[in-house]
Amino acid sequence: MTAASSARKNTTQSGTGTAVIFILFGSTGDLAKRMVLPSLYELHRRDLLPDGWQLIGNGRGDRTDDEFRQHVKDAIEEFGSDGSVSADEWASFAETIHFAGGGFSVDDPGRLLEVLDAARGAVGSAQLVHYLALPPTTFVDYTKAIAAHGLAKDSRVVYEKPFGTSPDGFRTLDEAVHQSLDEKQIYRIDHFLGKESTQNLHVLRFANGLFAGVWNREHVAEVQIDVPETLDIADRAAFYDATGAFLDMIVTHLFQVAAEVAMEPPVSLGADDLLDARESVIAAFRPLDPTEVVFGQYDGYRDTEGIPEDSTTETFAAVRLWVDTDRWRDVPFLLRTGKMLDHSSQRLSLVFRAPADGPVTDTPKDGTVLTFDLAGDGAIDLAVTIKEPGSGTDLSVAHMTEQLDEVADGLSPYARLIVDVLRGDRSLFTRPDGLAHVWEVAAPVLANPPAPRPYAAGSTGPAAADDLCGGSGWI
């Protein structure tokens, strides 16, 4: 793992050589403040931005450049990885930051075009990157405006998730976007794919015969992708009540992580080959059976300001997903997420089968489990059955854990994905054919959602979710 991590580290040592003008739509919103702006500063500190770099923030209001720079600095100090902003590093970053107010639409570009002209005057010919840190309901209008004002040609456009909120909504959005852009220009971001430990799935599996030979139904009893959260939804009540846990996490992030596990070996780890392998296995996802889905809603959810008192939105979702390939047929993929649970984690676990015969068959239920901790810098843990010390033959479980931050200083997920956008590498982004099938997989549940079961805040969620697991329970 040390060599693999070193290889990954080497791929992030330098930015693009071409000048880039990065236009951040929704630059004063919550997403930009929490994720995008701190990530851009992280790249600046690591010298991963191109020499000819310009950042233009866009919004409906009007601010001076200095006012926007202070907003950016405040966001970095509050949400950056270490909260510190050195004077020298900030000074060199701040001089690249500008604000274009007055909104942006087909009929009125606000101040964007004049600010963009000034940025081009400073750096010359530049790659345009449009980042839509906006609600998905605005994607069509902003895409049309980008094209209407001559900013679409050869540009790259980053769309935040979710890319559509229903099967019909996805098709409408996809058609509208492709009227203005070629597929190679489109970057649908999913920060779970940018996590260092998610990417280590590829290297651990394909570079180590120990795991490559057992990555199949013969040896794996079930796969679990578990993302519980202790947080409530008070900071985004309106969005959450219109979306729910199933659309917010399962259909977007966790289906993509499942595809990372289930894919067939790609020809290479290049962008096109990885995308082909990921989208091919998503096409083998079986449509969900609503009887294999558990929804829940935590007690007190309806008391939150902005939530209707009769809301039936789920704050918890657990599903059993089946992948109809020769490698994974009859192996359940168990996906679970929820708010106000007893702990927060982001874990992917392969639960291996106990020996069917031989001298040791009565092993602990979690005796052989390979777990990827997807939170923070990540970790890889291998649980194995051992004999307890002493004269007896009692068995217990030992853990061998590698903290990824100890072998490489990885980028945060958003920073890593932004670097890939700057380089034109789409390997960690989603493609429309896979997304179209994701909606087909989700369609039976969207048409016939299970009634959410109540659960106590601080609990593990509805007990019915435990019935989705095999003998191992949730790891």
- What are the catalytic residues? 253
Instruction: Name the nearest CA neighbour of 188 among 122, 278, 319.
Output: 278
Cα separation of 101 and 382, whole Å?
Answer: 52
Cα-Cα-Cα-Cα torsion 53, 57, 63, 69, nearest 10 degrees, comes to -50
Q: Is 75 annotated as a binding residue?
A: no
- The contacts found for 330-333 with CB under 8 angstroms, 24 or more apart, are 330/217, 331/217, 331/220, 331/221, 331/222, 331/223, 332/222, 332/223, 332/468, 332/470, 333/222, 333/223, 333/224, 333/225, 333/258, 333/261, 333/262
Q: Is 28 annotated as a binding residue?
A: yes
Q: Kindly report whether the peptide bond that precedes residue 462 is cis, defined as omega within 30 degrees of 0.
A: no
Q: Is 184 annotated as a binding residue?
A: no
| Burial class for 150, CB neighbours closer than 10 Å (0-12, 13-18, 19+) | exposed
Cα separation of 475 and 365, whole Å?
Answer: 10
Pair of tokens at residue 464: 């019915």
Is 21:119 a contact under the CB 8 Å cutoff?
Answer: yes
Q: Is 82 annotated as a binding residue?
A: no
Q: Is 26 annotated as a binding residue?
A: yes
- Chain-centroid distance, C-alpha 410: 16
Amino acid at 342: D
Q: Is 268 annotated as a binding residue?
A: no
Q: Is 229 annotated as a binding residue?
A: yes
Q: Is 191 annotated as a binding residue?
A: yes
Q: Is 9 annotated as a binding residue?
A: no
Cα–Cα–Cα angle for 51, 56, 61, nearest 5°? Answer: 165
Binding-site positions for substrate: 191, 195, 229, 248, 339
Binding residues are 26-33, 60, 161, 191, 195, 229, 248, 339
Binding residues for NADP(+): 26-33, 60, 161
